[in-house]
Amino acid sequence: MPPKQTLNIDFESDLWNAANELRGAVAENQYKDFVLSILFLKHLSERYDIRREWLQNAFNDKNSGYCTDDQAEQEEILNDLDEYASQNIVILPDEASWDYLRNNAEQDNIKVIVDEAFIKADELLAELNPAFKGLLPPIFVKSQLTTEQTAGLIHLFSKDKFSEKTNPEKDIFGEIYQYYIGKFAQAEGAGAGQFFTPESIVQLLVEMLEPLKGRIFDPACGSGGMFVQSLKFIQSHEGKKGDIAIYGQERYEGTLRLCKINLMLRNLSFDIKLGDSLLDDKHQDLKADYIIANPPFNVSQWHSEKIKETDPRLLGPREEFTTDGNANFMWMQTFWSHLSETGTAGTVMANGAMTSNASGEKQVRQKMVEEGIIDCVVRLPEKLFLTTGIPACLFFLSKNRDGNDGIHRARKGEVLFIDASKLGEMKSRKQRVLTPKDMDQIAGIYHNWRNIDGNFEEEAGFIASVSLDKIAENDFKLTPGIYVGTAEEEDDGIPFETKMAGLKAQLADQFTESTRLQALITDNLKEF
């Protein structure tokens, strides 16, 4: 069973207050840059404190490997840079610590103090790892923020709920990123399909793929939520983070910076590159064991003409297997090309990908069905995304369908369909989430279907394992509803005649009440 899902930290009102601090001085699509930068510095400062306290406690633990009562030796360990660098922790000078910022928040030059702290921290991070260079660029002095607004941000984020000490396993950066692009979607360009993947969808993808060991790749990695959830999965199954290698690519530099921050704070090694994965694949030779992605939906005019005729990702001629009208299936071909010989990809797609007959889309989908590439399709409930109303589904592509690994059965001639559209619960008036029970159920179905020792049973209206021939008969459409059929209605045991009599009596009562109300309204109107 997956670990209990933790929903968003209760800080929405605080983030709205932060937005009010920034409003008028900073463009809406830059709110998160200021918020996450200042929070990153806070986390850097806290992580040093956390590690120092751990070492001090370890001096009294005989099993820690640090046990000693020699004061000089203790002092040497506490000041050993390697004890911190091994955990991706830098020792900040006092003037770059969070306590210093908080204590000087009311100074007239607080913007200068913040930027100088950023510069010092960024230099130390670059010394720790060249890949960390530029994670904290100075942005406050050149902004239009007042000293009062800057002080307001510092005081606001001094609250415990924004502390790594009190929220060690929360994806604080990811949740804040989601909040701001949800609130200010138009400024972020969410209409182009760029949005944060809700935690429940990320967790479901990871639970289904089970990425315990190997290379994990996300060619549209955003702020790194897929990687963070993979780490949580590994930790919940007592795995080792050293057993995975992380690769990614992100088109937007600011978002890439947030991703690196997210991974760096979790002590994960990574190779994340800047660029457009469709037109400038920076990991051409990578073969990943797991691909977990949520690429932008339905992107048009992505310049498919720039794809070379000889591009190894293509499953057929470029003219037939790409379209500038929609990049969805170019993403799918990219995923497939990057899988290892036993790799599996799980990706979020717009529902239209299941049925589109447009040239350059249907050809790819048909080829994937005929070649036994598609492993599973899951239809998701509506309202899972805050920033788009586009209905979504999950596609799983696998090169591990021949049954030769001793774990999974041969299933290349069939596809699993799951219609999860009725699952989930409303977290708010606008957003639905998948519950831990839902995720456990969906992931369990997939594992039971593909595993040798699985106990799989079809269920009308919900799940079905379908032959490729039957899919071909349905014009290669992949909508689960076509194949799972209609769920059987439960019989309440009440005879039809009894039900009908009751309904007639109820209708008669309603007619009588309607007549009474009509007469009452008419009498009241006579007074005017």
Span 178-198, average pLDDT = 56
Ordered by where they begin, the domains of the chain are 12-170 (1.20.1260.30), 193-480 (3.40.50.150)
pLDDT at residue 177, rounded to an integer: 67
pLDDT at residue 186, rounded to an integer: 44
Span 61-79, average pLDDT = 91
pLDDT at residue 385, rounded to an integer: 77
Whether 208 and 284 have beta carbons less than 8 Å apart is answered as no
**Nearest alpha carbon to residue 171 among 295, 13, 290, 36:** 36
386 pLDDT tier (thresholds 50, 70, 90)? low
> E strands along 138-257, which residues?
214-218, 244-250
Phi/psi at 234 (5° precision): -60, -45
Which comes out higher in pLDDT, residue 77 or 512? Answer: 77
The DSSP secondary-structure symbol of 408 reads: B
CA–CA distance from 84 to each of 21, 89, 467, 481 (Å)? 34, 5, 55, 54
294 pLDDT tier (thresholds 50, 70, 90)? very high
183 pLDDT tier (thresholds 50, 70, 90)? low
267 pLDDT tier (thresholds 50, 70, 90)? confident
pLDDT at residue 216, rounded to an integer: 97
Q: Is the pLDDT of residue 517 over 90?
A: no
Q: Per residue in 207-222, pLDDT tens?
A: 999 999 999 999 999 8
pLDDT at residue 225, rounded to an integer: 84
Which comes out higher in pLDDT, residue 265 or 202? Answer: 202
The DSSP secondary-structure symbol of 199 reads: H
468 pLDDT tier (thresholds 50, 70, 90)? very high
Span 191-205, average pLDDT = 71
Which comes out higher in pLDDT, residue 375 or 521? Answer: 375
CA–CA distance, 290 with 287 (Å, rounded to integer):
9
394 pLDDT tier (thresholds 50, 70, 90)? very high
Span 486-492, average pLDDT = 53
Q: Is 174 exposed, middle or buried (0-12, 13-18, 19+ CB in 10 A)?
A: buried
pLDDT at residue 2, rounded to an integer: 38
In DSSP terms, 350 is beta-bridged to 392
Tell which phi-psi region holds residue 435, choosing left (phi > 0), alpha (psi between -120 and 50) or beta.
beta
The three-state DSSP-derived secondary structure of 435-482 is CHHHHHHHHHHHHHHHECCCCCCCECCCEEEEEHHHHHHCCCCCCHHH
CA angle 346, 341, 380 (to 5 degrees): 10
191 pLDDT tier (thresholds 50, 70, 90)? very low
Span 167-195, average pLDDT = 59
Span 266-276, average pLDDT = 91
419 pLDDT tier (thresholds 50, 70, 90)? very high
CA–CA distance, 526 with 454 (Å, rounded to integer):
74
* 447 residue type, one letter: H
Mean pLDDT computed over every residue of the chain? 87
pLDDT at residue 514, rounded to an integer: 83
Q: Is the pLDDT of residue 50 over 70?
A: yes
Q: Is the pLDDT of residue 3 over 80?
A: no
The DSSP secondary-structure symbol of 390 reads: -
